[in-house]
Amino acid sequence: MAQQSILYVINHPDWFWSHRLPLAAGARDAGYRVLVAMPGGAGDEKLSEHGFTGLDLPEVAGAGGVFKTVFALRRLIAQHRPGIVHAITLKYAFMTGLAARLTGVQVVHTVAGLGYLFSAEGIKPKILRTLIGPFLKLALNGKSIRVIFQNPDDLDLLVKRGFVRRERTALIRGSGVDTHVFKPREHAGEADPPVVLMPTRLVRDKGVAVFVEAARILKAEGMRARFQIAGGLSAGNPLAMTEAEMKALCADGAVEWLGPIKDMPGLFSTVCLVAYPSYYREGVPKVLLEAAAMGKAIVTTDHPGCREAVSHGVNGLLFPVRDAKACADSIRTLLDDPARRAAMGRAGRDLALREFDVKHVVAETLKVYSGLRG
């Protein structure tokens, strides 16, 4: 019997290496021939080093880029005839689903959050939802299609609105975390004064301004702590913050912007608390899984995805979205109670080991592939 191939459709190389390498490696080790299609994929030598075949996709810019990508995917499917195509993110699920219609290929979509299309407010996203909605339903429906959701809120919403049938869905919470890399460090100590960290892509709806305002509130009260944001600019996202906006937010010194950090385990090991006031419709934020695996207590929003990673009062505290005062109150509560903070950190580590280890996510995804083959 010929080796079955699987084609992964990825929006950006950085996303593949940071979030989906373990899945592709797991598929390879399970006997699949792994193809990876993404911008610049054909020239990425690291892919071949891992035993993968890289394929090129055009950059998506405007409606023209969407059509180019759909046609490019259709050509790749016809040329390489994969047994399964797995598209990551809602945008690429949309384009891949359209490209795969009438080809007979089996398709898996991972909806890693509903993002700008469903979370943004205003006339533009509303028009996009109206225009794209019928095509998205077409892309996500079919007997040979399975849709993986990362949180039950997203799953229920798209089922309720008729975008997908429940029996063709699976719930796999997050992309997982390597608990051997992200783990408490025995000899690491928290900085003095204590540091509260927000690790994030610089997108407005991640709650960057909320975190800065919470820091200002606590500084005005005389709280002895440092507040840091770790993350780089996020070009291409309609909600992305600019460098000028970030510098203006941090100009008063309430928060330090560190920029992108390569050694996130090292940074996590020095902080006492992680704050993530997001109201963005993401699946399960990977930074929260990493913080939990590092044994850090977390304050985050009572919002889809975030509440999957944090159980209120167990490994962190939840507060309402867009509420800087509630964010500040939650941070203060845990800064003032080191014993409770430490207990939450231990609970977070246990949760990461039990439910969010990347090996679990890979195994559950391989089961979805097997179900299609059966």
Are 143 and 215 in the same domain? no
Are 148 and 203 in the same domain? no
In a domain? residue 184: no
pLDDT given for residue 189 in this prediction: 64
Q: What's the token pair of residue 54?
A: 């890289």
193: cis peptide before it, omega within 30°? yes
pLDDT given for residue 217 in this prediction: 98
pLDDT given for residue 268 in this prediction: 96
For the chain, which ranges sit under pLDDT 70?
1-2, 61-63, 115-117, 119-121, 125, 187-189, 236, 373-374
**Domain with 153 in it: what CATH number?**
3.40.50.2000
In a domain? residue 185: no
Count of domains forming the chain: 2
Q: How far is Cα 62 from Cα 238, in angstroms, rounded to an integer?
A: 11
In a domain? residue 151: yes
Are 171 and 60 in the same domain? yes
pLDDT given for residue 119 in this prediction: 62
In a domain? residue 188: no
Report residue 152: phi and psi, to 5°. -70, -25
Are 208 and 315 in the same domain? yes
Identify the domain containing residue 311 by its residue range: 195-356
Are 330 and 364 in the same domain? no
pLDDT given for residue 328 in this prediction: 98
Are 297 and 283 in the same domain? yes
Are 228 and 265 in the same domain? yes
Are 86 and 204 in the same domain? no
Are 291 and 331 in the same domain? yes
In a domain? residue 190: no
Please report, as a single letter, which amino acid is at residue 109: H
In a domain? residue 123: yes
pLDDT given for residue 169 in this prediction: 96
Residue 23 to residues 104, 170, 359, 365, Cα–Cα distance (Å): 24, 16, 9, 8
Are 142 and 33 in the same domain? yes
Q: What's the token pair of residue 203?
A: 């997108």
In a domain? residue 186: no
> Percentages helix, strand, coil for the chain, rounded to the nearest 5?
45, 20, 35
C-beta neighbour count of 61 within 10 angstroms: 10
pLDDT given for residue 239 in this prediction: 82
Are 147 and 44 in the same domain? yes
Tell me which H or E stretch contains 327.
helix 324-335
In a domain? residue 182: no
Q: What's the token pair of residue 196?
A: 């509260």
Tell me which H or E stretch contains 334.
helix 324-335
Are the C-beta atoms of 208 and 198 separated by less than 8 Å? yes
Are 94 and 112 in the same domain? yes
